Amino acid sequence: MFLMVTGGILALILCLGLISVNFLWTGENKTRLLKILAGADLILILMFFLGFMLRNKIPNAAVEKLGSFATVFLLTQLICGGLVIIALIVRALYRKFHKPTPYNPERRRALKYSLVYPAMSLAVALYGNKIERMEIVDRFFDIPIKHLPPELQNFTVAQISDVHLGAYFSLERLEKLLERIAVAKPDILAITGDIFDDVNLNDAAIKLVDSYCDKFKHGIYYCHGNHEHFRGIQKISEQLSKTKIHWLVNESAHVTENLYVLGVDYPPAAPVMKSGGRGKQDELFYSQMKEYLEKALAGVPYNATVILLAHHPEFFDAATQKNIPLTLTGHTHGSQVWGLHLLEVFKYTRGMYQHDDCYCYVNSGCGSWFCFRLLTPPEAAYFKLINKV
């Protein structure tokens, strides 16, 4: 499924690139550029699929360099194609309501200021790849909770998610991120899955995270994401069991006298994107969510303050039924590009959601599916618990 969707996107980019050349250039330059662009795109697409098949055998440094080049090259075409289509629509509307100019096939085909379109597109692609993707922002929230015990007033939870350790997020970056959060002195650090995503680095990453447990007053709490299940879940679990990380699989951890942190696993029936609400697969998903949450709540006093860690954001629906005041999730990456969340690929895509007195935060993640972000920067989030008056 992933390869089919990716293949479709790459085919769209190729078409948009060819359309751009067709309307921005004329004569021999156009013919030459069409051939070069088509050849380069086909080579990159072939290299992408080969790289995906051999990803565990190619050094991360090589994958990062090739991935960055391919991303910038292909996204420049995608953005340029979008700009060209907008320009063509504007030109058509303008000519519809103004006196037509004498017909000239070549002049009608080419757009004015043709070099502006690829230049702007390249600038945006480079910004999303080299700058925004690399700059993790901090976000701060106050979470009002009814009848919050006095000792939990201003209790602060830091959250990271979707690091996707590997070619696009190194161990060195992970260490800098952990150190940066530790300096802020939150009471706990919550990690909501998809961090251990490279079979060659997972052991070292687990040891690194474990080494930071004592730097948070009440430690580090973690739940699995879907990518941990893709990268050797059994071995990851074995290594986690040897650490001080509070590794929660459908269970709870007693943090303080009145605070419990719950952690649920990623359900096998969970849709990668948005559930449809109908069909046997969705019914199984809802059943698994309910089952996992019930197990996690077992033994938790009814009047305790509870925080739920879940990778899939639709756990918020199950959490509201149990009146859980704060649910922290990830998985979506905030779509990585602002505007894509408007397509409703996910039910809950990014940021804070509220239902009555229940809050859910969908973290945009620290890593990337592909090495580009635009107006959806990677983030670390901080949540301060306050008493609701």
* pTM, full prediction: 0.92
Please name which of 177, 171, 242, 250 lies closest in space to residue 215, comparing C-alpha atoms: 177
Q: What percent of the chain has pLDDT over 70?
A: 92
Q: What is the mean pLDDT of the chain?
A: 90
* H or E element, residue 108: helix 105-109
pLDDT of residue 46: 79
Using 50, 70 and 90 to split pLDDT, how confident is the model at 2? low
Contact 245, 291 (CB under 8 A): no
Please name which of 187, 195, 200, 315 lies closest in space to residue 250, comparing C-alpha atoms: 315
User: How is residue 381 written in tokens?
Assistant: 């989030």
Residue with tokens 């690194």: 208
Q: Exposed/middle/buried for 224, CB within 10 Å: 0-12, 13-18, 19+?
A: buried
- 166-216 pLDDT, tens digit per residue, is 999 999 999 999 999 999 999 999 999 999 999 999 999 999 999 999 999
Mean pLDDT of 148-174: 97
pLDDT of residue 102: 60
pLDDT of residue 55: 67
DSSP 347-371: SS-SEEEEETTEEEEE---SS-SSS
Contact 149, 126 (CB under 8 A): no
- 124-133 pLDDT, tens digit per residue, is 999 999 999 9
How far apart (Å, rounded) are the C-alpha atoms in residues 180 and 145? 27
Task: Specify the higher pLDDT residue, 29 or 282.
Answer: 282
Contact 382, 186 (CB under 8 A): yes
- 246-266 pLDDT, tens digit per residue, is 999 999 999 999 999 999 999
Please name which of 318, 314, 346 lies closest in space to residue 333, comparing C-alpha atoms: 346
DSSP 335: G
Task: Specify the higher pLDDT residue, 276 or 121.
Answer: 121
- 47-61 pLDDT, tens digit per residue, is 777 766 776 778 888
pLDDT of residue 7: 67
Q: What angle do CA 334, 194, 163 make, to 5 degrees?
A: 65
pLDDT of 9 above 90? no
